[in-house]
Chain A
Amino acid sequence: MDELLYKSLEYGLSLGASYVEVRWQRDSGSVAGFRNGQFEFSTTYHSEGVAVRAVAGGGLGFAASPRLELEGVLEAVERAVKLAKAAGRMRKTPVALSEEALARFSYSLPPIEVDPVDLLKTLDEYVDKSLSVRRLVAHVWTTEKRVVTSDGADVYSKVPRVYLFAMLIKHEPSLGSLQRDVFLGGTSQDSIAGAEKVLEEESKKLGQLLERARSVAPGRYDVVFSPEMAGILVHESVGHPFELDRIYGREGAEAGESYIKPGNLKVRIGSELVNITDYPAIPGTYGFYLVDDEGVVARPKQLVRRGEATEFISNRQYAAVIGGRSNAGARASAFDREPIPRMSNTYLEPGDWKPGEIISDTRRGIYMVSYTEWNINDTRYSGRYGILEGYLIENGELKHPVKGFVEVDTPELWGNVDAVGRDLQLFVGTCGKGNPSQGIPVTMGGPTFRSRSLRVVT
C-alpha cells in the first residue's frame, strides 16, 4: 500500500499538480431490516477504493476508482490532474490550500461484535405490539482510511460504527396518528446499551400522547427545550450555517448558503449564555474522529462564544479563503466522495441550571421534549419544529401534553436564551450535504435550555 500511495503522489506532482491527496477507504458491514416483527432484508457490503484530489492549473480536480492496482490508481491521479486543469480555466481566482502542520498518525478502535439480524430480533420484542407500524433497521460497519498528501500527511484510522433506526407509528382512526423516529448509535458497543428500554418507552408513549395531547393555543410562549431539542436546533441553525464553504457559496445550488455572509463573519447570533462547540474526538460518539480527511488533527471548534460567531467549520481550501488555518472539518463519507467541511459532534455547552429549576422558574410556557416534521430554509434562518412530546407549563408545573409547532428565526431562538441547564446529552444523526450526496455520521445535543417568548402555532 505504501508504494501505491506514494507513487501516486509523485506521479501527480510530475504531471504538474501543486498538491496531491490520495485516500484509500474501505467500508464494510451489514445492514438488516425488520417490518412489523418480520424479517425484511439482510445485506452485507464491502466498498473499497481510492480517491484522489489534485490542485493544478488553479483548479481542483477529484477522481476515484474502485481499482486498487497501481495502474488503476495512477489512472485516477491522471484524471484528477486533468480535471483540475480544466476546472482552473473557468476560475477567476486559483484554488489555494491553507498551510498546516499535518499529522503522521495511526489509530483504531475495538470492533463492534453485533449481528444486525440478531439485534433486531431482540429489540423488536420490546416495541409495543399495539403499534400499527414498527419498522427497524440496524447497521454495523467499519470504516478504514489511509490519507497521504504531497505536503506530508500520512494518517491511518479504523473506526467501527453501529446505527439503529426505528420508525414507530400508532394509528387509531378515532384519535389520529403519531409517528416517532428513533436514532441510536455510536463508535462503541456501549453506544447501544439500553436501546431496548428506549424503544419500549418511546413506543408506549405514542399511545398516551395520541389520547391526551391537545392542540396548543397559538401565541407566544417561553419554551423550555430538552437536550434532544437542543441537538436539532444547534445542528440546523448553527452547525450548518457555520460551514465555511456554504458561507462562500460553494453549496449555493444544493445544500444552500448561510445567514452569515462573507463580508460579515463576526455576527452576534445569541445571548451571552449561548456557547456552541463542534468536537470530533469525544470517545464513543457517532461523529468521532481524531484526524480529518486532509490530515489535520481534530480539536474543539468554538463556533459560538457568549453569543458571538467566533469560528467556522472549515477544510483547507476555505481556511485559505479567509487567510486562516483549517480546524479539521474535512470529511468524506466513502472512497468516491470528496472531503468537504462537515459537522462532527455539535452541542450547546452546559450552563449552571438544574433542568427542573428551569421548568419551575417558567410561569407560562411549553416544555418541548421531542420533535417531528422539522425543517429550515436554506440560509438556515427560518426554522419550524413540530412538537411530538411536549407539555404545557403553568406556574412552574408541567400540565397536559400539547401538539403544535415552534416557528422561529435563528437570531430570536438564540437571542432569547436566558437559562441553560447542566444536563448535556448527545443524540445520533446522519447529516446530508454535498453533490453527490454524502450522509455523514454526526451527533448533536446540549442541555435543557429556555428561550423566552417564541411563536407557537397549530
Chain B
Amino acid sequence: MILKILTGRVDEAAVVKTRLLHYMVRFANDEVTAFKHWAAESTFIYVAKSRKTAAVAVTGPPSLEKVEEAVKRLATAPEDPLYVPIGGPSPATRHESLEDFEKLPDLVKAAVDAASGVERSAGVVHLTHASVSYEDTAGRSGAYSVNRVYMAMRSFLGDLSATSAAAGRRIGDIDAARLGRENAHLLDLARGLPHVRVEPARADLLLSPLVFAHLIGEAAGNWASGSEVLAGTSRYTKEDIGREVASQLLTVADAAHDPGAYGHTPFDLEGVPPRPVEIYRGGQLAGLLHTRRTAHALGMEPTGHAMHHYARPWPGHIRIAPGDGPADLEELLRDLRRGYYIHNNWYTRFQNVKTGQFSTVGRDVALEVRDGKPVAVVKYIRIADTLENLVNNVAQLSREARQIYWWDMPTPAHSPHAIVKNIGITT
C-alpha cells in the first residue's frame, strides 16, 4: 500500500516493517524485580528522487501524513553523495514461531539454584521474537521471523562478584545452571585472597570471552565499518586490506548470516542478506562491513550490514576463531604464568576512535597471577591501551569459544579466552 502511494512521486522507495516481541525477566537479590513484555511495531520508509534521499521511521501503522513527510523532506534535502540505486541480491525468507516465554523464570531459578555458596545474584533473561518484511520499487521482497535469547547473571559474595553470560537462538540454547556454577567457581577461586591495587604498568593479561569479545567488537564496529572508513574515523583505509595488522593468531568474522548465531539476520534494512565477512584472517585485514551505499562509495561489494541504520554498517555477530589453548580456567592461568586475569569489563571509552586509544574498567573478579596461580584480587583495575596493541599482541586463544551477549557488549559474539601480552593497565 505504501509503495503504491509513493509510486510516481519518487524515483525509488523501500518499506521495511518490523515487529519485535520482547519478553524480559529481570532479577536481583535472588528475586524477580520485573517481568516485562513489550511489542515494538515499526515501519521504515526509504525514498529517493534525483539522487536525494530521506527516511522515515514510524511505530505502529504509518499514517498517510507520515508517508507525505518522507516525500516532503526530499525537496529540501541536499544531494546524497553516497546515493546508489535500489537493487542487489533478493531478501531471504525464514520463519520461526515464538519460543515459550513462560519458561523464562525457570532459567532464573536454575541459575540461582546452581550458584552454590554465593550470597545473592542479579541478572536478566531476554527473549526477542523479530518479524521483518521488506519490499521495494525494484520488485524485491522478502520476510523473516527469528528468535533471539540471552541470559546474564552476576553473583555477589561480600564485595566480590562474578558474571556469566550465554546467548543463542532458542531458550534451549541457554544452559542457565552452567552460569550459576561458573559464578560460584570464580568466586571460590577469589575467596580469601588479599585485595590489592595496581600502579600504571604493562602486563600480560588473560581476558575472558566477555572482555575479549567486547574489545574485538569495538574494533569491528569502529574500524571495519565502511562508513567509518569513509569518514576517516577508522584506523584502516581500503588500501590496508591484505596487510598484516594484527597477530597471526587472530581470525575474526562477522557471522550475522549464521542461523545459529544470536543476532542472525536473514536480511538487513536494504533487503540484502548478510554475507560472511572475514575482518581479520590470520592477522591480515581481510574485509570491511558495508551497506550498499558504503560499498559503492569504496568500489567494493555490499555485505548486508545495514543492521541498525541505513547509513552506517555495523556487525551483527562476531565470531573469533578459537586457538589451541586449554579450555579450563585454571590451565589458562597456568599458561599465563604471571600477569592478570580480567573476567569482565564495562565503560569502555575512547580518547580517540581513530587511534583506538581507550580505557575500560575491570568489572567483577580480577586476579593477580604469579607462577600460574591466583595470588590476589585486584580492585578497580583498568585496561588502558590502544586497540592496535590489543589485536597485535594476542599470544594464545583457548580452544573453546562461547556464544555470549550481555548489556554492555557492543555486539554479540562467539569468543574464546585470550592471552594478550604487554598491555597497559592502571587503576
Contact = CB atoms under 8 A, between A and B. Distances in A.
A178 B352 CA distance: 6
Contact of A44 (B70, B156, B363): B70
A404 to B, nearest CB: 11
A111 to B, nearest CB: 16
A382 B79 contact: no
Contacts of A378: 346-347, 361, 363
Interface stretch (B226-234, B322-330, B335-343): B226-234
Contact of B354 (A90, A133, A335, A381): A133
Contacts of B351: 179, 372-373, 386
Interface string B214-255: 000000000000010011110000000000000000000000
A254 interface: yes
Given A43-B57, A378-B346, A59 B154 contact: no
Given A254-B124, A254-B407, A381-B380, A68 B232 contact: no
Nearest to B360: A375
Interface of A: 30, 33, 35-36, 38-49, 51, 59-68, 79-80, 83-84, 86-93, 115, 117-118, 121, 132-133, 135, 167, 169, 171, 176-179, 218, 248-256, 335-336, 338, 372-378, 381-382, 384, 386, 405, 407, 435-437, 457-458
Given A253-B124, A407-B427, A435 B58 contact: no
B382 A133 contact: no
A265 to B, nearest CB: 17
A373 B152 CA distance: 27
Given A39-B80, A60-B34, A375-B382, 4 more contacts: A44-B54, A48-B59, A91-B32, A117-B77
Contacts of B426: 384, 405, 407, 457
Contacts of B80: 39
Nearest to B154: A253
A373 B427 contact: no
Contact of A253 (B28, B34, B384): B28
B156 A169 contact: no
Contacts of A457: 200, 426
A169 B234 CA distance: 11
A169 B232 CA distance: 9
B35 A87 contact: yes
A413 to B, nearest CB: 14
Contacts, number: 243
6 contacts: A40-B82, A42-B53, A87-B34, A253-B154, A255-B407, A377-B347
B95 interface: no
Interface in B102-119: 102, 105, 108-109
Interface string B59-85: 110100010011001001111111000
Given A59-B35, A336-B38, A253 B59 contact: no
B361 A336 contact: no
Interface of B is mostly: strand
B419 interface: no
Contacts of A49: 59-60
B311 A46 contact: no
Interface of B: 22, 24-41, 53-60, 62, 66, 69-70, 73, 76-82, 102, 105, 108-109, 120, 122-124, 126, 152-154, 156, 163, 200, 227, 230-233, 309-311, 346-355, 357-363, 379-380, 382, 384, 406-408, 426-427
Contacts of B427: 382, 407
B361 A63 contact: no
Given A43-B57, A132-B232, A61 B78 contact: no
Contacts of A79: 37
B354 A46 contact: no
A90 B32 contact: yes
Contact of B153 (A64, A90, A253): A253
Given A63-B37, A90-B108, A90-B109, A35 B231 contact: yes
A285 to B, nearest CB: 24
A169 B352 contact: yes
B59 A90 contact: no
The 4 closest A-B pairs by CB, nearest first: A252-B122, A373-B351, A382-B380, A64-B38
A209 B311 CA distance: 32
B34 A135 contact: no
Contact of A377 (B78, B163, B361): B361
Contacts of A41: 53, 55, 309-311
A67 B39 CA distance: 9
A375 B233 contact: no
B153 to A, nearest CB: 7
Contacts of B406: 254
A121 B408 CA distance: 34
B230 A35 contact: yes
Given A46-B57, A377-B363, A90 B309 contact: no
Contacts of A382: 361, 379-380, 427
A167 B379 CA distance: 33
B352 A179 contact: yes
A89 B35 CA distance: 11
A253 B311 contact: no
A387 to B, nearest CB: 10
Contact of B32 (A64, A87, A133): A87
B32 to A, nearest CB: 4
Contacts of A167: 233, 353
Contacts of A30: 73
A239 to B, nearest CB: 15
B38 A91 contact: no
B31 A92 contact: yes
A335 B38 CA distance: 9
A373 B124 contact: no
A36 B81 CA distance: 12
B76 A117 contact: yes
Contacts of B78: 39, 117, 121
A257 to B, nearest CB: 8
A386 B22 CA distance: 38
B60 A66 contact: yes
Contacts of A253: 26, 28, 122-124, 152-154, 163, 407
A47 B60 CA distance: 8
A249 B29 contact: yes
Contact of B105 (A42, A60, A90, A435): A90
**Residue among A41, A80, A117 with the most chain B CB within 10 A?**
A41
A177 B354 contact: yes
Contacts of A405: 426
Given A83-B36, A338-B34, A169 B407 contact: no
Nearest to A53: B34
Given A91-B32, A135-B233, A381-B380, A68 B60 contact: yes
Contact of B60 (A33, A48, A249): A48
A38 B81 contact: yes
A33 B122 CA distance: 38
Contacts of B39: 64-67, 336
Contacts of A384: 359, 361, 382, 384, 426
